[in-house]
Amino acid sequence: MKAFELVSPRSVGDAVALLAGKPGAGVLAGGTDLLGLQKDRVQGPSLPLPGVLVNLKRVPALRGIVKEGERIVLGALTTLSQLADDPLLRSRFTAVAEAAAEVGSPQLRNMGTLGGHLCQRPRCAYFRHRQFVCLKKGGDRCHAAEGEHRYYHAIFRGGPCHMVHPSDLAPALQAFDATVRVAGPPGERELPLARFFRHPEEDPLREVALDPGELVTAVLLPEPPPGTCSAFTKARVRQGWQFALASVAVAITLEQGECRQARVILGGVAPTPYRAAGAETVLEGVQPDERVLARAADAAVEAARPLRDNAYKIDLTRGLVRQALGRALGVPPGQVGLAGPWSGDV
């Protein structure tokens, strides 16, 4: 591992000042991703290894789950285990708690933080390998386009880089219209989570919309309307601490048995969390039954454009959408709408 300087501020303001005063510094929260990148020397012409890490562990203002008016504030240093176990999240934001519980292993959930989880780098083997200089490192090509792309690459909106964002929590948070709070040299700002993630067409070097000197301080969840139910599910290569081949978060608001609002967000299949608007249209304004859920699952994957070796993700995602909707709404999975023997692991 390259040697680095570790600095430990005691406040958000001090952390911002350190980041602004030390260009290229890295932000250290749980360290479950950043330290791996440091150890593996993941670097390139536009991706230098940070020589300074700003350690946030001594900033108490970044921890905890509190209510702020009509919103629930999730501190950026709140661990994934705390999110998974929180009674409020489990009852009112079920998909968020379920997604947190599906990340990694218990040890990783005890270390990993909400902010770090949202800002983690892609799992693409070419990005992670020190001998490949890909687009995300300042190179001139996406090696995955014609190379190995079976697992952690896009079937929606891929290109010029075909990576997928690896976060499990991001789709679940977006299903509840979450907002990200960011602190930087100009002060605080908030932006919708859907705009926090950057597509490679906008910027192939960065996955999130953080300017120099900025850091995530919290994620804010608006209180869901009465009658809202939700669920999260994912498929992976094997049981254990695997990243998603595909994941689905749904949040459905029912009024007198009719779907008033639907959110269907896909993970592991696009460079950013992918909103399946076609599936939402099928669901809204009707009483959801098994056949409606099957049509919604079909609509969710209509726009898929897979690469050579990852077309299997279409059926996989279709089945996960049907599974997540059925779990959220209590509609048992009959034969209609099941698109393969996917039960969460493959």
What's the pLDDT at 333? 61
Q: pTM of this prediction? A: 0.94
With tokens 């094997």, the residue in question is 238
pLDDT tens by residue, 271-309: 999 999 999 999 999 999 999 999 999 999 999 999 999
Q: Which amino acid is at 284?
A: E
Mean pLDDT of 80-87: 98
Residue 39, Cα to own-chain centre: how many angstroms?
23
Mean pLDDT of 109-136: 97
What's the pLDDT at 287? 95
Q: Is the pLDDT of residue 344 over 70?
A: no
What's the pLDDT at 345? 44
Q: Is the pLDDT of residue 334 over 80?
A: no
Record: fold of 228-329 = Enolase-like; domain 1 (3.30.390)
What's the pLDDT at 81? 98
Residue 242 pLDDT class (50, 70, 90 cuts): confident
Q: What is the mean pLDDT of the chain?
A: 94
Mind giving me the DSSP string for 71-90? EEEEETT-BHHHHHH-HHHH
Residues in the chain: 346
pLDDT tens by residue, 7-59: 999 999 999 999 999 999 999 999 999 999 999 999 999 999 999 999 999 99
Q: Which residues contact 175 (CB under 8 A, 6 or more apart)?
A: 95, 230, 249, 250, 251, 263, 264, 265
Mind giving me the DSSP string for 208-258? B---TT-EEEEEEEEPPPTTEEEEEEEEBSSSSS---SEEEEEEEEEETTE
Q: Is the pLDDT of residue 346 over 50?
A: no
Residue 343 pLDDT class (50, 70, 90 cuts): very low
What's the pLDDT at 238? 83
Q: Is the pLDDT of residue 164 over 50?
A: yes
CA distance 31 to 54: 11
CA distance 159 to 155: 10
Q: Which amino acid is at 136?
A: K
Yes or no: say if 94 and 86 are a contact pair by the CB < 8 Å rule.
no
Q: Which residues contact 238 (CB under 8 A, 6 or more apart)?
A: 345
Other beta carbons less than 10 A from residue 157's beta carbon:
18
CA distance 230 to 250: 5
What's the pLDDT at 91? 96
Domain ranges across the chain: 228-329
Residue 39's Cβ-side half-sphere holds a number of Cα atoms within 13 Å equal to 6
pLDDT tens by residue, 180-225: 999 999 999 999 999 999 999 999 999 999 999 999 999 999 999 9
What's the pLDDT at 172? 99
3-state helix, strand, coil in the chain (%, to 5): 30, 25, 45
CA distance 254 to 229: 8
- Closest by CA position to 173, among listed 189, 196, 201: 196
Task: For residue 27, give the 3-state DSSP assignment.
Answer: strand
What's the pLDDT at 241? 77
- Closest by CA position to 173, among listed 98, 113, 255: 98
